[in-house]
Amino acid sequence: MTNSTIPLLPEMAKIWQQTLNWQPNEQQQQKFQQLYELIVLGNQKLNLTRITDPQEFWEKHLWDSLRGIAPKGQFIPFLSENAAVIDIGTGAGFPGIPVAITMLNCKMTLLDSTRKKINFIDESLTQLTLSNAKTCIGRAEEIGHHPQHRKRYDVALIRAVSNAAVCAEYTLPLLKQGGLSVIYRGNWTEEETKSLQNAVNQLGGVIESVEQFTTPLTNSVRHCLYLRKVVNTPASFPRAVGIPTQNPLS
Ligand code: SAH
């Protein structure tokens, strides 16, 4: 496939408006299209995503990424005011790149442990002329102790990286006090909220809300967990590389 044979993404202005009270401007729509093309082409060399159909890409990558930063259907207000945001385990750039395109005033850090993916994103950021986003190669367990990253972020995003307790351990140490962690999930139950509580408390956070919603084209169930950092995270977290996933907090 070449650029000229890649289909156009749908615009979905009405759905954006109805679900997020927002619509992409022309420049943002253009960047979404460019991102889609970069990913379809990049997929020929790298295994970036199995979602390449234009409607599916719109729903599962673009809409889903932005719905996470819009609890109760409104964008988190301070995201438009120089907020420092990190996307942990960004893979091909989700949810971080669509968020950076939408919130041009936020400063986005895209973290992944895989060099190949980060190289792809670096190239994409140049092509997209997105100057408010930068990349970082590393493991969440390590950068969580790095003074440049620990307690530096207003918002931490994490989608499809691990179970919720692990996501909490990766995100909370990076947040400033008062910062917000957004954990993107598919299915989620109240039981799981109960059993996550203790892990979040140990990390200095509280579960502020859990939102259930359905995606607008295929009505697939999604959840977002919003954790607020209320006190300092103990220095022992995050634990060493691999430990959080081997032995999730409970
Ligand atoms: N967030 C993207 C990609 C999910 S795949 C999306 O939703 O589409 C999970 C990604 O997390 C992979 O790219 C993997 O390299 C990265 N990852 C997993 N564990 C990590 C860790 N401990 N630190 C940093 N990146 C990690």
Q: Ligand 1 mean position to 88 CA, how many Å?
A: 7
pLDDT in tens, the chain (250 residues): 667 789 999 999 999 999 999 999 999 999 999 999 999 999 999 999 999 999 999 999 999 999 999 999 999 988 889 999 999 999 999 999 999 999 999 999 999 999 999 999 999 999 999 999 999 999 999 999 999 999 999 999 999 999 999 999 999 999 999 999 999 999 999 999 999 999 999 999 999 999 999 999 999 999 999 999 999 999 999 999 999 999 999 9
**This prediction's pTM:** 0.97
Amino acid 2: pLDDT: 67
Residue from 64, 86, 113 whose mutation best tests the ligand 1 pocket (most atoms within 8 A of CB) = 113
Please answer whether residues 210 and 223 qualify as being in contact, where contact means their C-beta atoms are separated by less than 8 angstroms: yes
Amino acid 43: pLDDT: 94
Q: What is the largest CA-CA distance in the chain?
A: 52
Please answer whether residues 136 and 109 qualify as being in contact, where contact means their C-beta atoms are separated by less than 8 angstroms: yes
Query: What gap in Å lies between CA 32 and CA 92, rounded to an integer?
Result: 13
Structure tokens, 95: 């949810």
Structural element, H or E, at residue 212? strand 205-214
Amino acid 77: pLDDT: 87
Q: What 3-state class would DSSP assign to 174?
A: helix
Amino acid 1: pLDDT: 66
Residue from 39, 52, 161, 163 whose mutation best tests the ligand 1 pocket (most atoms within 8 A of CB) = 161
Amino acid 51: pLDDT: 95
Taking Cα atoms as reference points, which of 200, 209, 210 lies closest to residue 231?
Answer: 200
The per-residue pLDDT for range 96-122, each reduced to its tens digit, is 999 999 999 999 999 999 999 999 999
Residue from 48, 62, 112 whose mutation best tests the ligand 1 pocket (most atoms within 8 A of CB) = 112
80-246 has which fold? Rossmann fold (3.40.50)
Please answer whether residues 227 and 207 qualify as being in contact, where contact means their C-beta atoms are separated by less than 8 angstroms: yes
Q: Which residues line ligand 1 (CB under 6 A)?
A: 88-91, 94, 111-114, 117, 139-141, 159-161
Q: Ligand 1 mean position to 83 CA, how many Å?
A: 22
Query: What gap in Å lies between CA 239 and CA 144, rounded to an integer?
Result: 9
Nearest ligand 1 atom to alpha carbon 158: 1
190-202 vs 164-171: helix axis angle to the nearest 10? 30
Chain centroid offset of residue 63 CA: 12
Amino acid 179: pLDDT: 97
Please give the single-letter amino acid code of residue 125.
L
